[in-house]
Homo-oligomer: A and B are copies of this chain.
Amino acid sequence: MNILLKEIRHNPLLWLLAFVPAVFIGEKLKPQAHAVLFVLTLLAIVPLAALLSHATESVAARTGDAVGGLLNATLGNLTELVIALTALRAGQHMLVKASIVGAIVTNSLFMLGASFFLGGMKFHVQEFNRVSARLQACLLFLAAVALLVPSALVQADAQKGAAMLQSLSLGLAVLLIVAYALGMFFSLKTHRELFAGAGHGEAGEAGEAGEAGEAGEAGEAPWPIGLALATLGGVTVLVALVSEVFVESVQHAAETFGMTPAFVGFIVVALVGAAAEMASAFSAARKNRLDLSVGIALGSASQIALFVAPVLMLLSYFLGPAPMDLQFWPGAVVMILIATLTAALVTNGGRSAWFVGVLLIMVYLVFAMTLYLLPPGTQ
């Protein structure tokens, strides 16, 4: 517990934890002040995400790389998962899908781009393991195809189409999870030597925690397992409670701020949910450990596309009012496809300079700008 307090004292990001009780007090006193509650929940989720991410790393650092990778898959994107589950229980499939697409696009464009840019500001040319980047890009491409083909082949107007869409979504969900599992098996077991330094990247934050531990940096040292597990449990409950307020307030707040729901779902939620991972990725880029940045950014994106999204779809059968399908509206599929192609194009060479980051951020800005200006009716 001392370690936890010490960490909170040293990490200014964690001071935002003060907003967690503020959310619950606010919700009791003024349940109709949606705009205020919305801002409070945003501010409260950021430090909780950071704690969650650190606790996950600490647990993963205890295990081997294979189990660590699996842990990362299940826990690394926990914030996104909890927010999405809350929205799922409320039957808000639209918000769930928007946050999935937003997380994929934000991770593979903004997080990767900002890493390249920040790293490029300090180093003239940076190199990274392109085998690892290619694997992640290929996995993302598979996910994009899995989401694109149904939309292209199906005009689900008839009732028959809807039933068929549900079966197809089930099949695709299983297929994506299998592909993800085989990809982990490939990169962590049978061909791990190809992923050299990138093995850590694939294992995401676990690897970072491990390396950081070796480097002896106080702020990122792994916690004792008991503390880590307790934090994991406690913070998950807190995130779940805060998310509930967030999901309730988000639509009203969007109207108040003049933001389209699409913009909130894609951009705001995605940036908040990934805040902690971004801090890790950016700091790694500035230490010239671009393998790690690419691993976090693309690894996280492919985790969401091939693991979190299908799992949410499967869970929708048990939670919430109606099962969710995997059909995304055309604009979302186009964004995922473009994000994937862009990431594949720029990571192909295994080298980076600041302008590569600018290009990625520009593509992200095109999306953000379009979503911000989108008339509320159309999505």
Interface residues of chain A, those whose CB is within 8 Å of chain B, are 124-125, 134-135, 138-139, 141-142, 145-146, 148-150, 152-155, 158, 160-161, 164, 167-168, 171-172, 175, 178-179, 182-183, 186, 190-191, 194, 330-331, 334-335, 338, 341-342, 344-346, 348-349, 353-356, 358-359, 362-363, 365-367, 369-371, 373-375, 377-378
The reply to whether B153 and A366 contact each other, CB–CB distance below 8 Å, is no
Report the separation of the CA atoms of residues A355 and B191 in the bound assembly, to the nearest whole angstrom: 9
By a CB distance below 8 angstroms, the chain B residues around A335 are 149
Query: Among B135, B149, B349, which residue has its beta carbon within 8 angstroms of that of A370?
Result: B149
Report the separation of the CA atoms of residues A341 and B344 in the bound assembly, to the nearest whole angstrom: 12
Report the separation of the CA atoms of residues A134 and B367 in the bound assembly, to the nearest whole angstrom: 23
Query: Among B186, B374, B377, which residue has its beta carbon within 8 angstroms of that of A354?
Result: B186
The reply to whether B149 and A355 contact each other, CB–CB distance below 8 Å, is no
When A179-B358, A365-B175 are in contact, do A164 and B338 touch as well, CB less than 8 Å? no
The reply to whether A342 and B141 contact each other, CB–CB distance below 8 Å, is yes
By a CB distance below 8 angstroms, the chain B residues around A365 are 175
The reply to whether B353 and A191 contact each other, CB–CB distance below 8 Å, is yes
* Closest CB in chain B relative to A196 CB, distance in Å: 14
| A-side interface mostly | helix
The reply to whether A179 and B331 contact each other, CB–CB distance below 8 Å, is no
The reply to whether A152 and B359 contact each other, CB–CB distance below 8 Å, is no
The reply to whether B155 and A190 contact each other, CB–CB distance below 8 Å, is no
The reply to whether A153 and B349 contact each other, CB–CB distance below 8 Å, is no
A-B pairs with beta carbons under 8 Å apart, 27 shown: A125-B191, A125-B194, A134-B349, A138-B356, A141-B342, A142-B363, A142-B366, A145-B338, A145-B366, A146-B366, A148-B338, A149-B338, A149-B370, A153-B331, A153-B378, A154-B374, A154-B378, A158-B375, A168-B369, A172-B366, A175-B369, A182-B355, A186-B353, A186-B354, A191-B353, A194-B353, A344-B345
The reply to whether B375 and A153 contact each other, CB–CB distance below 8 Å, is no
Residue of B with least CB distance to A150: B370
The reply to whether A354 and B190 contact each other, CB–CB distance below 8 Å, is yes
Report the separation of the CA atoms of residues A354 and B182 in the bound assembly, to the nearest whole angstrom: 10
By a CB distance below 8 angstroms, the chain B residues around A348 are 348
Report the separation of the CA atoms of residues A288 and B135 in the bound assembly, to the nearest whole angstrom: 23
Report the separation of the CA atoms of residues A65 and B270 in the bound assembly, to the nearest whole angstrom: 42
By a CB distance below 8 angstroms, the chain B residues around A346 are 138
Give me 20 other A-B pairs in contact (C-beta within 8 A), A149-B367, A179-B358 excluded: A125-B191, A135-B355, A142-B363, A142-B366, A150-B370, A152-B330, A152-B331, A153-B334, A153-B370, A153-B371, A154-B374, A154-B378, A155-B378, A171-B373, A172-B369, A175-B369, A182-B355, A182-B358, A183-B355, A190-B354
By a CB distance below 8 angstroms, the chain B residues around A334 are 148-149, 152-153
By a CB distance below 8 angstroms, the chain B residues around A124 are 191
* Closest CB in chain B relative to A328 CB, distance in Å: 12
By a CB distance below 8 angstroms, the chain B residues around A359 are 138-139, 142, 179
Residue of B with least CB distance to A135: B355
